[in-house]
Amino acid sequence: MIAIGLMSGTSADGVDAAAIELGVPAAGVRLLRTASRAYAPSLREALLALGEGRATDARAIALLHAAVGDAYADLAHDLARALRAEGVRPDVVAMHGQTVAHLPAERVTLQLGDAARVAVRTGTTVVSDFRSADVALGGQGAPLVPFADVVLFGRLAPVAVLNVGGIANLTLIPSSRPEDVVAFDTGPGNMVIDAIAAGMDTDGAGAARGRVDDGALGDALAHPFFARRGPKSTGREDFGAPFAARLDAAVRAHGGSRDDALATATALTARTIADALPPALRRAPARLLVAGGGARNPTLLGRLGAALPGIAIEPTDAHGVPASHREAVAFAIIGAYRLRGLPNTLPRATGAARTVSAGAVHIP
């Protein structure tokens, strides 16, 4: 099967796409192409405003649903056209959508993006709305990517896979058996760093110049999410702009600079990831594979390495999966399983009552 995966994370900076070839059930995948496209600045700001509760107008939400669908459709169409030029026809497009509300305690999650527009534009079957079925079964609706991590990295067990997007999440793979996998969100990834930087501190230069404010860090670590047991997931509701503003204000109140606030936010991400790793996976020959935007942040990776001595930390690229597109690859896998009607969730990761073949199918 040829599958295209489309992913936009909590940073709301654009869409990543990956085309893969795989058998279903899959023993591995072959990466064919990747692509990315940034959202228009006005679209990104509107999505952030909605996700942070600064916009609630129903008409605006409907227009955003269409605009995100068009952004997905444009990228999927161009990628599908490039594949067809090489004699390859996609069987399915799997689109995650843009999360604007994730409220697992209320059993609600919402991703925008009109999948019908993608199906019509590409002429290809589209699978979307992957989270709702899991939520209906009492799960968090997240994380879903660990199902694909077993396909991609199960042969390396024991191994942990870390994604540092807006939110950071871990997949712990003690063996190649899916039923042994544990996964959960650890807390903020790039979200707080980006908010304080008023953009992105992608290479960690600001944080490298700054000094960690231990008092402000301690206050941030007191957030109740960090003490909760998994399965657990989070988003902008917990760690969006208000949380970042409080951390920044705490550092400034102690006489610190913006670089000090960036250093403190980076230390928060590294500390909460390290604390989430169980002792069994800290013993050699343990490996931590890193993906997402945080994989390009040497300051963050340096702090993580210092907190996890003896663990080999390497990008997923070293095992054939581009760190920048690991989640797009994952949803391509998950969508391919849905098209075959096979289970594509891990209840131990989400807390759902059972596994399910998640996703709504749209036929052009």
DSSP run (H or E) holding 117: helix 115-122
Q: What is the third-level CATH fold of 2-142+325-362?
A: Nucleotidyltransferase; domain 5 (3.30.420)
263-300 confidence digits (pLDDT tens): 999 999 999 999 998 876 666 557 899 999 999 999 99
Distance of alpha carbon 121 from alpha carbon 4, whole angstroms: 14
Average pLDDT, the chain: 94
- Here the contacts of 66-70 (C-beta below 8 Å, separation 24 or greater) are 66/114, 66/117, 67/43, 68/8, 68/43, 68/97, 68/98, 68/112, 68/113, 68/114, 69/112, 69/113, 69/114, 69/115, 69/116, 69/117, 69/118, 70/114, 70/117
- DSSP class of residue 277 equals S
**Beta 29-38 vs 14-22: how paired, if at all?**
antiparallel
The structure tokens listed for 202 are 């992608």
Distance of alpha carbon 72 from alpha carbon 76, whole angstroms: 6
Question: Are the CB atoms for 75 and 37 separated by under 8 Å?
Answer: yes
**CATH code given to domain 146-319:** 3.30.420.40
Domain coordinates of the chain in residue numbers?
2-142+325-362, 146-319
Fold equal for 2-142+325-362 and 146-319: yes
Which ranges of 187-240 would DSSP assign to H, the alpha helix? 191-197, 205-209, 214-221, 236-239
pLDDT in tens, the chain (364 residues): 999 999 998 888 999 999 999 999 988 899 999 999 999 999 999 999 998 888 888 999 999 999 999 999 999 999 999 999 999 999 999 999 999 999 988 999 999 999 999 999 999 999 999 999 999 999 999 999 999 999 999 999 999 999 999 999 999 998 878 889 999 999 999 999 999 998 767 689 999 999 999 999 999 999 999 999 888 999 999 999 999 999 999 999 999 999 999 999 999 999 999 999 887 666 655 789 999 999 999 999 999 999 998 899 999 999 999 999 999 999 999 999 999 999 999 999 999 999 999 999 999 9
Locus of tokens 């712990």: 172
Distance of alpha carbon 120 from alpha carbon 362, whole angstroms: 9
pTM of full prediction above 0.95:
no
